[in-house]
């Protein structure tokens, strides 16, 4: 190796050493400054250190940065109406035609007869009987619903839109039926003359005096026409009226001295005291506001108390307040329509043909405005 090469290598080493010395000096200055800063009591320095530490903490992984929200597979919320009572008061009867007639026996034929005494050579008095006809006409009712196939493919658990497709329509049909029956059974004009009573303001069951619900209900039961056919005597009222009866002093006095103290009365208790087979309390609600307005909920059945003779089964020569004449069973149809949307979709339709027919209006009794 010649002298020129050795000299060049020595010069390069000096440059390297110089750079290392500079880096070491810079590091020592940095560490010194960091130490001075860490132990400084200068408010500005302390504030700057806190801000820098906060900025560093924000860069750490937080729980929200490693999770994307998704639907719970075990929890969802859906409101359901309370039990409907309409068909328990006007039971469904299958009829062979959409419209037809039925026979009505004259009421007086079984409640008055001529003298049955016979002389030695007299002839027995002859009975006279008559028949009239009533008629029904079933009306069509239906709803349909739709779900897009693309929506089905994109749904997450726990959603099952195919199940809800049919369930929502079935519920809608039942809801509208309840409205129709409630209207029929809470309209005074649908009862025989003398088989309704409007409680005056001063005698209502929730007034200071408490009225006289026992007398009012007994009067209704006494006015009811009964018979021997297969039937049940059923009372019904709305929830607000029932809540008043359940705590009414006159009602509570009925079991006050028998050694038991159950607190509030129950529907079963009241039914047994008044010789009813059952007392139904209507609790279902409806939204009375238009679709674009704020919801306004109220009970489907208005304030009332009624008693009906309800047929246990459709039969001949029997008197019951009314039936739901039903042509065929409630029908559910589902079909796929390829022409809708980009991938088609499913339709569901539920339909029925019904007539809520009052056939013997003197076998029911309605008390209106029992409470304020």
Find residue 334's DSSP bridge partners: 348
Output Rg (C-alpha) for the chain, integer angstroms.
41
**List of the chain residues with pLDDT < 50:** 3, 6-7
The pLDDT, as a whole number, for residue 258 is 59
Six token digits for residue 39: 């132990």
The pLDDT, as a whole number, for residue 260 is 59
Rounded Cα distance between 362 and 111, Å, is 15
The pLDDT, as a whole number, for residue 3 is 45
Name the superfamily (CATH) of residues 86-108+129-368: phage-related protein like domain (3.90.1690.10)
The pLDDT, as a whole number, for residue 73 is 74
The pLDDT, as a whole number, for residue 7 is 46
Rounded Cα distance between 284 and 300, Å, is 6
Six token digits for residue 217: 């209900």
The pLDDT, as a whole number, for residue 6 is 47
Rounded Cα distance between 240 and 145, Å, is 34
In the DSSP assignment, the letter for residue 113 is -
- 3-class SS letters over 254-306: CCCCCCCCCCCCCHHHHHHHCCCCEEEEECCEEECCCCCCCCCEEECCCCEEE
Domain boundaries defined on the chain? 3-62, 86-108+129-368
pTM (predicted TM-score): 0.79
Six token digits for residue 71: 């639907």
């Amino acid at each position: 190796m010649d002298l020129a090469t050795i000299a060049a290598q020595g010069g390069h080493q000096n440059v390297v050493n110089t750079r290392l010395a500079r880096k070491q000096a810079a590091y020592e200055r940095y560490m010194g400054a960091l130490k001075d800063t860490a132990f400084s009591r200068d408010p500005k320095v302390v504030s700057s250190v806190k801000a820098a530490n906060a900025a560093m903490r924000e860069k750490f992984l937080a729980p929200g940065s490693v999770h994307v929200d998704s639907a719970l597979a075990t929890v969802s919320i859906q409101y359901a109406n309370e039990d409907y009572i309409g068909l328990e008061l006007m039971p469904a009867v299958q009829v062979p035609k959409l419209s037809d007639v039925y026979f009505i026996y004259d009421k007086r034929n079984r409640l008055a007869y001529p003298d049955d005494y016979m002389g030695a050579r007299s002839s027995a008095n002859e009975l006279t009987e008559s028949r009239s006809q009533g008629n029904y006409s079933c009306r069509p009712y239906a709803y349909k619903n739709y779900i897009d196939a693309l929506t089905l493919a994109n749904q997450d658990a726990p959603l099952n839109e195919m199940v809800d497709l049919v369930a929502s329509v079935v519920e809608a049909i039942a809801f509208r039926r309840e409205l129709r029956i409630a209207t029929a059974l809470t309209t005074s004009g649908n009862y025989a003359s003398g088989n309704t009573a409007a409680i005056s303001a001063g005698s209502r069951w929730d007034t200071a005096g408490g009225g006289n619900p026992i007398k009012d209900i007994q009067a209704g039961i006494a006015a009811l026409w009964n018979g021997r056919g297969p039937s049940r005597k059923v009372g019904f009222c709305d929830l607000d009226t029932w809540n008043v009866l359940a705590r009414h002093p006159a009602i509570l006095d009925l079991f006050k001295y028998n050694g038991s103290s159950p607190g509030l009365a129950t529907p079963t208790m009241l039914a047994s005291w008044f010789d009813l087979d059952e007392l139904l309390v209507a609790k279902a609600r409806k939204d009375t506001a238009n679709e674009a307005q704020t919801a306004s909920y109220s009970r489907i059945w208005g304030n009332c108390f009624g008693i009906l003779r309800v047929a246990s089964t459709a039969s001949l020569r029997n008197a019951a307040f009314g039936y739901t004449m039903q042509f065929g069973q409630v029908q559910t149809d589902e079909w796929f329509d390829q022409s809708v949307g980009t991938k088609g979709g499913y339709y569901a339709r539920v339909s029925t043909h019904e007539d809520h027919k009052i056939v013997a209006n003197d076998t029911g009794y309605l008390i209106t405005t029992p409470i304020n």
